[in-house]
Every structure is written in C-alpha cells, then in structure tokens.
Amino acid sequence: MSEPVQTPQTFTPRIFSGIQPSGGLTLGNYLGALKRFVEKQDEGIETIYCLVDMHAITVWQSPADLRRQTREGAAAFIAAGIDPKRSILFNQSQVSAHAELGWIFNCVARMGWMGRMTQWKDKAGKNSENASLGLFAYPALMAADILAYKATHVPVGEDQKQHLELTRDIAAKFNNDYGVNFFPITEPVIEGAATRVMSLRDGSKKMSKSDPSDQSRINLTDDADAIAAKIRKAKTDPEPLPDTLDGLKDRPEARNLVNIYAALAGLTPAAVVAEHAGAQFGTFKPRLAELAVSVLSPITTEMNRLMADPAEIDRILGEGSARAEAIARPILDEVYDIVGMVRSRQV
Ligand code: AQP
C-alpha cells in the first residue's frame, strides 16, 4: 500500500443520478427517480443528471432507437421539471471521464462482488455465457458515474440499492488500497410512496421499460386513453380496499395501485387506504386513472413539444456535457496521479 497522497477531506454535498435511455421512460422511472430529481433541485445542493447511454448498450440497442430514446429521455427530464440551467443535464458518452474511471473501478471491484448483483442475475438469467461483459461490469461503471463527481447523495428507486452499496464498497476499497480519503461514501436517497413500482400484470415484478409486455407499464408517452385502459386492465383481486395498510399485506397488486395513487397524489399509502376504504377496484381504478392522466398528460404534451426540436435538445445536452466535464476531468486527473499513471502529455 502506498503512502497517503491526500489529507483527509470533507465532501461538499452533491447529487448525481441517471436513467438509461434503453426504452421509453415509465411511470416507475418517473415516481422512483425523475420526480425525486426535480424535488432535489430545490434543496440548495448542486444536482447533476445523466442519460446513461453507455449503460443502455450493455443490452442491444439499435443506433437509431438509442439516439431517439436519449433525446426523448432528455425531453422527459425537462418536461418533468428539470431546469437545465439549475441542474447539469447531459448524456454519459459525451463525458469520457465516466468510461475512464469505470476502467479503474473494474480493477478495484472484485468478480465475487459483481457476481452477487441481483440485476446481473435477473438480466443475464440462465444465458449468462451470452450476456455482454459490459452487463457484468455495469455496476463499476455506475460507481464511476457517481464518483467522477464525488457525489455524496444519489436519489434512486429501491431496485438500485444494491448497486449503491457496491459503489460504497468500491469507494472504500479505493480509499483503503491507496491510503487516501479521496472518494465519499455515497448515500442512497430512496424516498417516497413508490420506490418500487410493480408491473401492472404481475405484482411480484418491477415495472420496467424493457418488459416485453407494453400492458405491464405506463409509458410517459402514453395518451390518456392508453393510461386509462392499462389501469382498467391492471391485475387486481376481487376484494375491496381494506381500511388499513395491514389488510394489503398479501395483496401485492392492490398494494401497488395504492402506492402509485399515493405517490401521484403526494399522500401516504395509509392516507389513500383510509380515504378509499371499502371501495371496489371498479371504483378505485377510474379514480387512479383520472389522477394519473392529470399528472402525466402535461408532461407528455411538453415532451412532444420538445421532441419537435431535437437540435435544441442536443444543444442542451452538449452544454450540460461541457459543464459536467469541467467537474469530472480534474477529479479524474487526481485519480490518475493517485494510481500512479505518468501524465506527461503537453496539452
Ligand atoms: N419500477 C420502478 N419503480 C421505482 N423506481 C424505478 N426505477 C426504475 N424502475 C423503477 C428507477 O429509475 C431510475 C433509472 O433506472 P434505469 O433506467 O437506469 O434502470 P432500471 O432500474 O433497470 O430501470 P428499467 O426501467 O427496469 O430499465 P431496463 O428495463 O432497461 O432495465 C433508477 O433510479 C431506478 O431505481
């Protein structure tokens, strides 16, 4: 182990998070992530948000789809309330520090750690021999996304908790191996009534943009009729809503709809159950659909308006990338010094 090259330091609070442009964004991405990102803009802490296009290609994306999904994702961020002046909004591949630090972290993370990631197991499944090496290394790149900015807080949905724990392990191992206090031990921020929105077809599965069934999710591009139809057909059970949350313990689909309602309305699930106690789903679902449409329709309309001018979206992402690079590059240069890379090129 080398001598410490950096004295202990405290870390300025900074928020980073990202979403993969691996499909259209869903209600799960909105409630678990995007809505939280917008709230964080008002907490007086620097906020950096990223369309993680390099993560998206860990599973096949056609180039045309990837470009469209990246721009559509950026439009969704802005339509949901991210202000590109107050937050840094960009796409990952335009800031090479992510890939460079990702490589360093590939050399810090252990194979055993990566093999235990449930997302790897779920996505690679029984066919792991055929999965990309990138899919296996995904969490090390995610750690790099966060730590390239020394981000201290990362708002995410519940499904990303394990990857955040791995980010903390990588930061701690790097600090320990090199005898530095260079990277913060990042805190996950998992808040709200819908930290894990479930599929509308199966209450045991997460709502996901890559689920083969479009009926399983609400897309941010769905119109009012599609939203209402999907909620009407959502799997439930024949019982009415109970008067306490305890009564939803073994009813995952019912619990999911209550959580969605609560998150959309800004209420707690307990308050929703108290308000709708005894209601049949024939009554509750149309109310939920009405609420979902009232929240999502303005976002969809604004996304469509923004998507009509892709050059403006590209301009915003370009500007955000330059601002992100200005933070990440000096941090990466310090990492290279700590690791022992000779850096003699004249700029
Ligand atoms: N169902 C969900 N409920 C709550 N939060 C969710 N998030 C995703 N799905 C839900 C949160 O959205 C952020 C971005 O996620 P991501 O796109 O980077 O990857 P993911 O978690 O793998 O999301 P998907 O939709 O399932 O994408 P695919 O299908 O491409 O893998 C994260 O904060 C995540 O927690």
Q: DSSP characters for 93-108?
A: GG-THHHHHHHHHHTT
Q: In the beta sheet, which residues pair with residue 16? A: 48
Residues 101, 147: Cα–Cα separation, whole Å: 8
| Phi, psi of 91, deg, nearest 5 | -110, 140
When pLDDT is cut at 50, 70 and 90, the band that residue 9 belongs to is low
> Total domain count for the chain?
2
Residue bearing tokens 């802490």: 45
Tell how far the Cα of 70 is from the centroid of ligand 1, in angstroms: 15
Contact in structure between 307 and 71 (CB atoms under 8 Å) = yes
Q: Are 29 and 131 found together in one domain?
A: yes
Give the pLDDT of residue 327: 98
Asked if the model's pLDDT at residue 1 lies above 50, the reply is no
Contact in structure between 194 and 33 (CB atoms under 8 Å) = no
Tell how far the Cα of 113 is from the centroid of ligand 1, in angstroms: 21
pLDDT tens-place string over residues 290-331: 999 999 999 999 999 999 999 999 999 999 999 999 999 999
Q: Which residues are catalytic?
A: 123, 206, 209
Residue 347 domain-assigned (yes or no) = no
Q: Are 136 and 150 found together in one domain?
A: yes
Q: Are 190 and 334 found together in one domain?
A: yes
Residues 152, 161: Cα–Cα separation, whole Å: 15
Ligand 1 atom closest to the Cα of residue 26 is 25
Q: Are 228 and 291 found together in one domain?
A: yes
Q: Are 317 and 331 found together in one domain?
A: yes
- Residue 240 is given by DSSP the state P
Q: Is 208 annotated as a binding residue?
A: yes
Give the mean pLDDT of the chain.
95
CATH number of the domain residue 330 falls in: 3.40.50.620
Residues 249, 252: Cα–Cα separation, whole Å: 7
Q: Are 64 and 159 found together in one domain?
A: yes
When pLDDT is cut at 50, 70 and 90, the band that residue 222 belongs to is very high
- Find the farthest-apart pair of alpha carbons in the chain and give their distance in angstroms, rounded: 73
- 197 within ligand 1 shell (Cβ under 6 A): yes
Mean pLDDT of 61-75: 98
Contact in structure between 270 and 245 (CB atoms under 8 Å) = yes
Q: Are 177 and 244 found together in one domain?
A: no
Element (H, E) at 19: strand 14-19
Q: Are 239 and 99 found together in one domain?
A: no
When pLDDT is cut at 50, 70 and 90, the band that residue 126 belongs to is confident
Q: Are 135 and 245 found together in one domain?
A: no
**Which residues constitute the domain of residue 66?**
14-195+309-339
- 139 within ligand 1 shell (Cβ under 6 A): no
Give the pLDDT of residue 2: 39
- 203 within ligand 1 shell (Cβ under 6 A): no
Q: Are 26 and 166 found together in one domain?
A: yes
